[in-house]
Amino acid sequence: MISMPGHFVTTRFNHVLGWARKFSLFHYPYVTACCGMEYMSTACAHFDIDRFGAGMTRFSPRQSDLLLVVGTVTQKLAPVLKTVYDQMTEPKWVIAFGACAVSGGIYDNYAVVQGIDQIIPVDVFIPGCPPRPEMVLDGLLKLQDKIQKQEHDWRWKRRKP
């Protein structure tokens, strides 16, 4: 943004859209395991993700644009996760929260998906078993950076087929 003495501001629409979107993330907590405890402490008063504009927890994927996959995803749960992701409206982002969601973690076995990026695209990976809330917030800030720099598709009506 460039401000000028004549009290007006120039910017790019894409930049403003990125700024608006990164501070209004409605997240859907897909919590399956013990990482959920860290998610709770991140979301609640002590660490308070509302400071970063992501405090609005929605319990319907149709109302949310940030999918937090918190915990182990088994092979049997994988199609459910895919369905939840598909039900979210664009634009949408995904955070893989904790070692299990990132890579399967300690569950290197027959039943567990070895990283949710085998099923759905992931924007930010937060490692740790479980990650500290500070790490989660760091991941959230990295996602916000990414959203800010993204090329936002806002020309809905002019989009080429």
Partner 1 sequence: MEEKKALSELQKRFSGNILDASAPLGDETVVIRKDALLEIAEFLRNPPFAFTMLLDLTCVDYPDRRDRFEMVYHLFSLTLNERIRIKLALPESAASVASLTGLWKNADWLEREAFDMFGVRFDGHPDLRRLFMDEGFAGHPLRKDYPLRKRQPGIAPRT
Q: Give the footprint of partner 1 on this chain (CB under 8 A).
A: 75-76, 78-79, 82-83, 86, 108-111, 113-114
CB–CB of 33/72 below 8 Å?
Answer: yes
Q: Least distance to partner 1 from the beta carbon of 107, Å?
A: 12
Q: Which of 44, 121 has the CB closer to partner 1? A: 121
CB of 56 to partner 1, least distance (A): 27
1 three-state secondary structure: coil
State the nearest-atom distance from the C-beta of 103 to partner 1, in Å.
Answer: 14
Beta carbon nearer to partner 1, 95 or 112: 112
Measured from the CB atom, the residue of 90 and 108 that comes closer to partner 1 is 108
Smallest gap from Cβ 96 to partner 1, in A, equals: 17
Give helix 133-149 / helix 13-22 axis angle, nearest 10°.
Answer: 160
Q: Considering the complex, state which of residue 79 and residue 121 has its C-beta at the smaller distance from partner 1.
A: 79
Strands of the sheet containing 56-57, edge to edge, are 56-57, 26-31, 66-70, 93-97, 124-126
Contact (Cβ atoms closer than 8 angstroms) between residue 113 and residue 32? no
List C-alpha distances in Å: 158 to 37, 73, 153, 154: 44, 38, 10, 9
